[in-house]
Structure 1
Amino acid sequence: MTVRNWLVLAVLVVDAALLALLELLFLPLRFDGYLLPYALGGMHVPLSAVVAALTTPWLVSVAGRLSQGLLVAAAPLIAWLLVVAVFGMFGPGGDLVLTADWRAMLLFACGALPSAIALGRVLATTLAAPR
């Protein structure tokens, strides 16, 4: 890999970590009249899971185009998982950011599963490519 590819990979990993942090912080978002208007009886809005489902697989696929290595392609996914797990359990000041409810499971499912599928697609294309 060239120096440019290493820099792009570093930006992708930092981007995955920042996105995971923002997705965690906005996970309890709901229509309660504070940030969003009061509507639908204060219903939860898991927009973080939608953002995770769209951005994390994209980061994995872009990282997979940089090199044919498994760790290079999986680096954004690993960074995302580490930030969600560590910051979610041991948040700022010891707060528990990742609550034990359906929104946490939805965030993990929407972030990790499509990214694992994208990682499998990257691996299938690199293994099928002639050497």
Structure 2
Amino acid sequence: MRGFGDWLVLAALVLDAVLLAVVELVYLPLRFDGVLLPDLGGFPFPVTVLLAAVSTPLLVLAAARLSPKLPVAAAPGFAWLLVTLWLMLGGPGGGFGVYPDWRVLVLLGAGSLPSAVVLGGVLGRAQRAAGFRG
């Protein structure tokens, strides 16, 4: 990281990850029940899973452009994961914000696994560029 501007960009990326985790958990129980979406018999519509699968790897990739070192590149992904787990397991008031069901597991997988793949690729390219022979 070259200067103060890079630290501000990293802080903005981490803040984006935190806000995305909150939004994704709030809208995770969205259903076709006639309240926000049309009434289709209460069929679940976890659109935030797709949002997590697309946004968290992009945040990790943007952080990796600042520095390919693990603490910098992984900061948005770890922030997203920590906030998601914190809000699922108790949150600020100690009560459960989201009760565990299949959508929660899919959200965790969709946000974490693609980010881990992107992070692994970034770290691998950095090692290859440094001339690592292992």
- Bin of the TM-score, shorter chain as denominator length: over 0.9
**Distance of 1:128 and 1:60 partners within structure 2:** 19
Unaligned runs of 5+ in 2: none
Amino acid of the structure 2 residue aligned with 1:27 = L
Question: Percent same amino acid at aligned positions?
Answer: 52
- Following superposition, the deviation at residue 88 of structure 1 comes to 1.6
Unaligned runs of 5+ in 1: none
- Following superposition, the deviation at residue 66 of structure 1 comes to 0.3
Aligned residues between the structures: 130
4+ long deviations beyond 4 Å: none
TM-score when scaled to structure 2?
Answer: 0.92
Amino acid of the structure 2 residue aligned with 1:91 = G
Q: 2:73 corresponds to which residue?
A: 73
Secondary structure at the aligned position of 1:81 is classed as helix
Deviations 1:43-102 (A, max 9, x none): 000111100000000000110110121010000011001100111221353331232210
TM-score when scaled to structure 1?
Answer: 0.94
Q: 2:12 corresponds to which residue?
A: 11
* Superposition RMSD in Å: 1.2
Q: From the two aligned structures, give the one with the greater strand fraction.
A: 2
- Following superposition, the deviation at residue 34 of structure 1 comes to 0.7
Q: 2:52 corresponds to which residue?
A: 52
Secondary structure at the aligned position of 1:94 is classed as coil
